Structure 1
């Protein structure tokens, strides 16, 4: 029997005030026998993420045309073509506890599936969200139990929507019924949360001046580690570190060009790309690094706040998003809403493609992760919370059957899906919120 000491999974490269976690390498798997390697690195789900799309969708362009399969994608879901075998669309899920229909309750019920207390003050009350239930179990052995991200830099306060406090729209994640977890939208702050050296704006600028790159301070240790690894691990490590350096470069580029930005946005923090797509892709790349480095195993990401008046000139939509969703069945406005929906899906699809291209253990990063993408609102024109636009991606390591369209004949609680995903991610519960079962069709032996 050949024995070999393995590299600990929680290995860090340490330099001057910095530490860099590592991706899962073959050297981290105990090398006693081939069978021992299989036992040490089983095919299983390791992570769970949630991406929120605001203000529902145009369901006619969202819904896949065929029952049971994603062989033909709908117009809105067409960007998923390269990863559709790892994606399942689920039709006719609902959030009963989000009524009366509001933007605030769409956001707050998405991960809690409970009714928000109607208040304009600080006596808000909701429920513990699924991501935090997951974090309490699968997030306890990582640097960060969970990571909360968003795209909007400014969180409004006070009353935002028909008597509901803005806290319900600002936060997807709640660690208790009275404790919302603020999301971070600034890439530089997120990067430093993952890899070290936070602090005030002045401190962060000083840190940038002190060191051009996080990786420069650990160069010697990187060289030493590479000399101990096999060719496959060396390639994995190089690709991971190159990804970190590329994210650094993009953040620094955004910081260097912000002062020359001609847009009349004097409060724009440094380090945030001017274009929405560039900002979103950077936030998705940070998620990939966080998962690949096992810095966290639970992530929430809000693509925009409910009632957002953001415009999307990248796809030819100069009208503010929120007014467009109150379209009054105007075909032109509905088409513009669909363009925004498709744009958001395309950003998610790019992220999934990167995860699928990232090897890990006996599969890919996407195989060992689950992502739920969707909205807490169905038809935004009438503020309903039924027939929600919902996608589930990844999960092959847990036998998720992708390339499918699950269509329920009658409205079914979104809580059923939450319960199913929690259980597949290793958080064993009998029920969640108003669940009345599980989405058994989502997982199981793959068709031969």
Structure 2
């Protein structure tokens, strides 16, 4: 059999003054005779992690059935539309996070390592799962990994019971002594995905020369479109409109920033409403996956000890004090509304991944997304029976609509080991793992 060569390289970019836009997977990038080998049979591997702080009301989190998700719990109800690509895992634990602090909850979540107790700069942790994956599957992309957050991470020194703030501020570590700061400003993330780089002043000058990123690549886009079929042109138009929509929303947030009330946890120039800010950050991850700009991402939906309030939920209490509920049923119920709110925003992200076609499936089929916390019951600062779930992965054989409940506490590191294996990282052990979770995949 003679196979025709690709007519368009997968790493094709649109270029213009101060801008570079990678492209989604197009038919023109895949020889017709081998198209299926780049889709369902051999999907692009993507791995995402979404962290929630301060655990959850586990009674309202845990699915009713021991086996499936046909009766979703109150906190997980927003995920009903994607439950067929969802697995909830109960009774996972994070032993390396003890003696039980907010700092170690954050630090151990992706490292499964015990943080060195220090208030100085001699901190020491471990390489996190996302960075292990990035070294394996991120070297062929523009960004090996993408680290995002919702809150400013400017606190330094001692933050929690003798632990340096660096443990609480950073999910990702590329070495035991190298934390990777997360970005909370949508504009800066957007420019890292689509800008040409350069100094901050060069990027500002580039922005002033164009009303929109797409203006800068108009000529290159027109030239490319003349070589594409109708289907690929439609894909390009839809993708670029998604890029333009995100850019518009960032511009709107920046234009209204001067009138927004000052929030000590929120960067200047981001949307005043938490939900719109979170949706922008999720949409930036979607664009990064869709354009194959990165295949690994981490996202802190809020930082540990966050005093952020969520009035849109009807709860005016700050999150952190509310998590120390003292077993007061009314406080637990209010905390659960915050837990559900975070899940609802994550559910929107999953639905967008599912609704974005790619090859023979969609982006959710070709991604594995871990959502959860390093803390179980925040009132006790424990790290057992963690709220954890995994979404996506259908193209890689992950079963959906399932609740895996362990009789005995099982290391969260076992789940990390399984997800790393699925994206091609062969490890015998990760952190305190005792073996992969075989039941997670077909």
Q: State the partner residue of 2:99.
A: 100
Deviations 1:333-369 (A, max 9, x none): 1011100100000010000000000001110011000
TM-score by length of 1: 0.95
Q: State the partner residue of 1:115.
A: 114
Q: State the partner residue of 1:132.
A: 131
* Structure 1 runs not aligned, ≥5 long: none
Deviations 1:238-262 (A, max 9, x none): 111000000000000011111122x
- For the Cα contact (< 8 Å) 1:129–1:173, is it kept in 2? yes
CA distance in structure 2 between the partners assigned to 1:18 and 1:275 by the alignment: 29
| Secondary structure of residue in 2 paired with 1:239 | helix
Q: State the partner residue of 1:39.
A: 37
CA distance in structure 2 between the partners assigned to 1:268 and 1:168 by the alignment: 19
- How far 1:17 sits from its partner (Å)? 1.9
CA distance in structure 1 between the partners assigned to 2:267 and 2:432 by the alignment: 41
Deviations 1:370-428 (A, max 9, x none): 00000000000000000000010000011000111000011000000000000001111
| Secondary structure of residue in 2 paired with 1:168 | helix
Deviations 1:50-91 (A, max 9, x none): 000000000000000001101111000000011111111000
- How far 1:44 sits from its partner (Å)? 2.7
1:293 matched to 2:288? The reply is: no
Matches within 5 A, 1:274-423: 274-423=272-421
1:49 matched to 2:41? The reply is: no
Q: State the partner residue of 1:431.
A: 429
> When the two structures are aligned, how many residues end up with a matched partner?
440
Q: State the partner residue of 2:19.
A: 18
Matches within 5 A, 1:224-263: 224-261=223-260, 263=261
- For the Cα contact (< 8 Å) 2:6–2:30, is it kept in 1? no
User: What's the RMSD between the two structures over aligned residues?
Assistant: 1.6
For structure 1, which segment, 186-195 or 146-155, has the greater mean C-alpha deviation from structure 2 after superposition? 146-155
Deviations 1:250-299 (A, max 9, x none): 000011111122x1459965530011101000000000000001011110
TM-score by length of 2: 0.97
- How far 1:46 sits from its partner (Å)? 0.9
| Secondary structure of residue in 1 paired with 2:217 | helix
- For the Cα contact (< 8 Å) 1:252–1:271, is it kept in 2? no
- For the Cα contact (< 8 Å) 1:48–1:371, is it kept in 2? yes
